[in-house]
Amino acid sequence: MEFSLRKVYFDHSATTAIDHRVIEEMMPYFSDKFGNASSIHTFGREAKIALETAREHIARTLHANAAEIIFASGGTESDNLALKGTAYREKKRRHIITSNAEHHAVLRTCEFLQTQGFRITYLPVDKTGTVQPEVVAQHIDEDTFLISIMHANNEVGSINPIAGIGKIAREKGILFHTDAVQSFGKLPINVREMSIDMLSISAHKIHGPKGIGALYVRKGIVLEKLNHGGHHERDRRAGTENIPAIVGFGKAAVICQQEMGQESQRLATLRNAFYRQITENIPRVHLNGSFENRLPGNLNVAFEGIEGEALLLSLDLKGIAASSGSACTSGGVEPSHVLRAMGIPAELAQSSIRFSLGRGNSQEDVDYALSVLPEIVQRLRSISPFN
Ligand SMILES: *Cc1c(COP(=O)(O)O)cnc(C)c1O
């Protein structure tokens, strides 16, 4: 008899399934409504209306204007556009402030800009993974033109006080960009009240399609282009718009906006119960990051004496998908740069696992994980050379 394994997806910070309501909304734009939004005939106008409606929806969720939204291929491109776009336009100043717990889309872009003659300050984060506005303020000088600090961290879910950072940047005449890929759709965002000049978001982290994202750019800010070509996106990002994906992104954003309050509470309750039972059933576990100040679905835990990768593989054999912040490199497994930046020793960082809960998860998923986790941890510890 065929035994079918239970499947539990606890990796919503990596990507999410497209919501069936989103797929339904997208479908006509793959077939009947296939027009190019730049065409002036009926087909084109239909696509254009869909494009601008989605733009309106996204703008509304951020309290921005539609004209301030540039669609791009995802969070990575939006981060690149924000950082390179402002750097290439800046005439005199050469200093950028960011943090050492940012996503690689920001960190690697900063490293590239360093090779182009820009000076970058990578602010240290505290032990919960956040950057306080006072710390940002201390590092501002005459030469600073851009601050890029993420809203919520993708590994530990820590939430930065971005309104405070935005306020300081605005007072000093410095542009403020935030990577909000993880927080968008999960936390309320108001770009006006938070003094945000640029903000990156992505659809596939919020049950929308992959390969589509957006950059909010406050009215009046001019960016150098990354893509040269046609006059798409008000001449800010050339290339025929991916209408089905954009329509899906708009729908996904609206759903999140409508369900955010209830869903956040549900996920936080589920996550807290999961964590409590892990600590009750497994000795020598440590929570990475803050208990209170974190995204509702995020749980990042170190299991002393075990390689995180080994735990991931064992969980996978039981049908459970989670993630470790470690990156496989040619030299072996590198511990997560975020956990290291938080001051977590390399060995504990290597023992850490991220469970990110989301829309598809239920109490049964948590119960199932708890039914297999203690035994796996015990077995791995018994054979571990670090133990
Ligand atoms: C996923 C992610 C990105 C990259 O977004 P893509 O759409 O996958 O390119 C950037 N920043 C953060 C914080 C992310 O979690």
The verdict on the CB of residue 48 being under 6 Å from ligand 1 is no
pLDDT of 2 higher than 60: no
> For ligand 1, atom 4, which residue shows the shortest CA distance?
75
Domain 20-255 fold is Aspartate Aminotransferase; domain 2 (3.40.640)
SS (H, E, C) 180-244: CCCCECCECCCCCCCCCCEEEEECCCCCCCCCCEEEEECCCCCCCCCCCCCCHHHHCCCCCCCHH
DSSP, collapsed to helix, strand or coil, labels residue 299 as strand
Pocket perturbation via mutation, ligand 1, pick of 182, 294, 356 by most ligand atoms within 8 A of CB = 182
The verdict on the CB of residue 213 being under 6 Å from ligand 1 is yes
CA 165 to chain centre: 19
For the chain, the average pLDDT equals 96
Residue 327: pLDDT band with limits 50, 70, 90 = low
Query: Radius of gyration over alpha carbons of the chain, in Å?
Result: 22
Same fold: 8-17+260-383 with 20-255: no
**pLDDT at position 183, please?**
98
Distance CA 177, CA 355 (A): 27
The verdict on the CB of residue 154 being under 6 Å from ligand 1 is yes
- Using the mean position of ligand 1's atoms as its centre, give its distance from the Cα of residue 213 in Å: 9
Q: What secondary structure does DSSP assign to 8-56, as a single string?
A: EE-BTTT--PPPHHHHHHHGGGGTTT---TT--SHHHHHHHHHHHHHHH
Host H or E run for residue 2: none
Tokens of 65: 């204007």
**pLDDT at position 333, please?**
74
CA 184 to chain centre: 8
Distance (Å) of CA 151 to CA 9, 135, 166, 184, 286 = 24, 16, 11, 9, 24
The arithmetic mean of pLDDT across residues 223-233, rounded, is: 96
**pLDDT at position 384, please?**
77
Domain ranges of the chain: 8-17+260-383, 20-255
DSSP, collapsed to helix, strand or coil, labels residue 323 as strand
- Using the mean position of ligand 1's atoms as its centre, give its distance from the Cα of residue 8 in Å: 22
DSSP, collapsed to helix, strand or coil, labels residue 82 as helix
DSSP, collapsed to helix, strand or coil, labels residue 295 as coil
Q: Is the dihedral of CA 39, 44, 49, 50 positive or negative?
A: negative
The verdict on the CB of residue 205 being under 6 Å from ligand 1 is yes
- Using the mean position of ligand 1's atoms as its centre, give its distance from the Cα of residue 326 in Å: 16
As beta bridge partners, residue 121 has 97
The arithmetic mean of pLDDT across residues 116-137, rounded, is: 98
**pLDDT at position 202, please?**
98
pLDDT digits (tens, 9 = 90+) for 23-44: 999 999 999 999 999 999 999 9
The distance between the two most distant Cα atoms of the chain, rounded to a whole number of Å, is 72
Per CATH, the homologous superfamily of domain 8-17+260-383 is Aspartate Aminotransferase, domain 1 (3.90.1150.10)
> For ligand 1, atom 10, which residue shows the shortest CA distance?
75
Q: Give the Cβ contact number of residue 1 at 10 Å.
A: 3
Active site residue ranges? 328
From the CA of 15, give the closest atom in ligand 1.
Answer: 1
pLDDT digits (tens, 9 = 90+) for 55-113: 999 999 999 999 999 999 999 999 999 999 999 999 999 999 999 999 999 999 999 99
Distance CA 184, CA 75 (A): 11
DSSP 179: E
